[in-house]
Structure 1
Amino acid sequence: MTNALSSFGKLFLIPSWLGNTTVDQTLPNATQALVAACQYFIVENAKPARAFLKTLPLSQPLQSLHIQELPRSLAADIHGQPLDYRQHRALLRELLAPAQAGHNMGLLADAGCPGIADPGALVVACAHELGISVQPLIGPSSILLALMAAGLNGQQFAFNGYVPQQEPDRQRQIQRLEQRAKQENQTQVFIETPYRNVALFDGFIKYCQGDSRLTVATDLSLASEYIQTHTIDTWRKKGAPDIHRRPTVFCLLA
């Protein structure tokens, strides 16, 4: 068994840029070199993956790379429960077949880190089950960048992903997590589909206590980056920032 596993390739977890920037501003040279040497990739969407990969010093032409998209059936409902990888073993093992044949592979998200708020976590879970070595590479995470810049509690925090879109479920979720933040001194971190950013911001303004602090972190790592932390009362006076259709992370601490 040990000899068989040692013949497997590795699965590199590749952070991608967070927007319209350069790869040199996003990834250290060591990460670029490991990615550039790979021939096989599992990606969320092929078009942005190719746009990202063609900026790297590839060891072979982009057209010769083997790029597999994650099937839509593996994408978890972002407002529901994540899928269990064990229900899709056959499909996931097929995606990972090059690694089992001894080739290094890259797992690439559209933006940020694969496996974090990303269906690539299913691929990683199956790789562990198969005994394929998993190696996370250094690069940007919008969630951690926002938490770093928030000035809230970085010792205790929870990433909650998306809140429900419909009322009264949205109100209950926001108020429940604000209460947790207060009771446990735990920063609550959220993301949203960019065109629903303003609706989520309005939900915080409407349902949270005036002395709770809210961070809005938009276009992280880009020239248009915007990061501000204020109390809810202050945000009510300032009004919503320009966050419509711009990737944004929200952090809340009561």
Structure 2
Amino acid sequence: MEVALYLLPVTLGDTAIEKVLPSYNREIIVNIKHFIVEDVRSARRFLKKVDADICIDELTFYPLNKHTSPEAISGYLAPLAEGHSMGVISEAGCPAVADPGADVVAIAQKRNFKVVPLVGPSSIILSVMGSGFNGQSFAFHGYLPIEPADRMRRLKELEARVYSENQTQLFIETPYRNHKMLEDILKTCRPQTKLCIAANITCEGEFIQTKTVKEWKGKLPELNKIPCIFLIYK
């Protein structure tokens, strides 16, 4: 196996590994002893799902989240510099996409280490695929402002880009605030603007449906505490 920083996608929920990850990923993972992870506990669970025979106690984990200092992140790649492959594991989906893993990848690129992204599920890409919206030009904005006036202003800005740039706009919300987000979208956006709600992607109860804002009114699904991604287009 070539020495590199491997970006290791994980499932988006409790989906079986074999449904969303190639067998090649397992071949790579079982040969890595150093992992940079968003959450150590969930990373351990994921690795055991990949191969129950993996000895967790023989592995080294480096936590990477919003509290990790730039100095610590810089030191995480020491094993790679010594000739040992490393893996980056996110909490869900693909590392370095809407994920702190991007910081360590940037350092690896700067130091000319080989970076290898492996195939796996991305809610961003899968939702665009299932929406029927423009897949040639789209933008993911993460979380929108929490304060109502700021959020509605931001929604208007994104909707304006839909019409002026012919660009699909994507964003997310904390699962327990999904309904508030939907209420604000229906209140703020034009009746003819299309909204795709993509929930539980690749998991049991997957829901991906596109309607106009007008058509969604009074017919919203129950989405409390369910991972969702929202897309708007014309």
TM-score, normalization by structure 2? 0.95
The yes-or-no answer on 1:33 pairing with 2:27 is yes
Q: 2:229 maps to what in 1?
A: 249
**Is the 8 Å Cα contact of residues 8 and 117 (structure 2) preserved in structure 1?**
yes
Q: 1:42 maps to what in 2?
A: 36
Distance 1:104 1:159 in 2: 31
Distance 1:42 1:208 in 2: 40
Choose which of 107, 113, 121 in structure 2 pairs with 1:126.
107
Distance 1:134 1:164 in 2: 33
Q: 2:177 maps to what in 1?
A: 196
Q: 2:192 maps to what in 1?
A: 211
The yes-or-no answer on 1:23 pairing with 2:26 is no
Distance 2:206 2:54 in 1: 34
Q: 2:166 maps to what in 1?
A: 185
Distance 1:195 1:49 in 2: 24
Q: 1:51 maps to what in 2?
A: 45
**Letter of the structure 1 residue corresponding to residue 182 of structure 2:** F
Structure 1 residue 71, shift from structure 2 partner: 4.8
What do the CA deviations read for 1:20-66 (whole angstroms, capped 9, x no partner)?
11111121011121112111100000111111100123774122111
The yes-or-no answer on 1:13 pairing with 2:26 is no
The yes-or-no answer on 1:231 pairing with 2:222 is no
Q: 1:3 maps to what in 2?
A: none
Identity of aligned residues (%): 39
Which residues of 2 match residues 144-183 of structure 1 at below 5 A? 144-183=125-164
Structure 1 residue 67, shift from structure 2 partner: 1.4
**Letter of the structure 2 residue corresponding to residue 253 of structure 1:** Y
Q: 2:60 maps to what in 1?
A: 66
**Is the 8 Å Cα contact of residues 215 and 229 (structure 1) preserved in structure 2?**
yes
**Is the 8 Å Cα contact of residues 196 and 210 (structure 2) preserved in structure 1?**
yes
Choose which of 97, 112, 117 in structure 2 pairs with 1:116.
97
**Is the 8 Å Cα contact of residues 197 and 229 (structure 2) preserved in structure 1?**
yes
**Letter of the structure 1 residue corresponding to residue 109 of structure 2:** H
Structure 1 residue 143, shift from structure 2 partner: 0.6
Could you say what secondary structure the match of 2:178 adopts? helix
Distance 2:178 2:81 in 1: 41
Distance 1:112 1:71 in 2: 15
Segments of 5+ residues of structure 1 without an aligned counterpart are 1-7, 75-86
Segments of 5+ residues of structure 2 without an aligned counterpart are none
RMSD over equivalenced CA pairs, Å: 1.5
**Letter of the structure 2 residue corresponding to residue 19 of structure 1:** G
Distance 2:74 2:142 in 1: 27
Q: 1:93 maps to what in 2?
A: 74
**Is the 8 Å Cα contact of residues 34 and 59 (structure 2) preserved in structure 1?**
yes
Distance 1:214 1:63 in 2: 47
**Is the 8 Å Cα contact of residues 48 and 110 (structure 1) preserved in structure 2?**
yes
What do the CA deviations read for 1:60-118 (whole angstroms, capped 9, x no partner)?
412211112115424xxxxxxxxxxxx82x32221111111110000000100111111
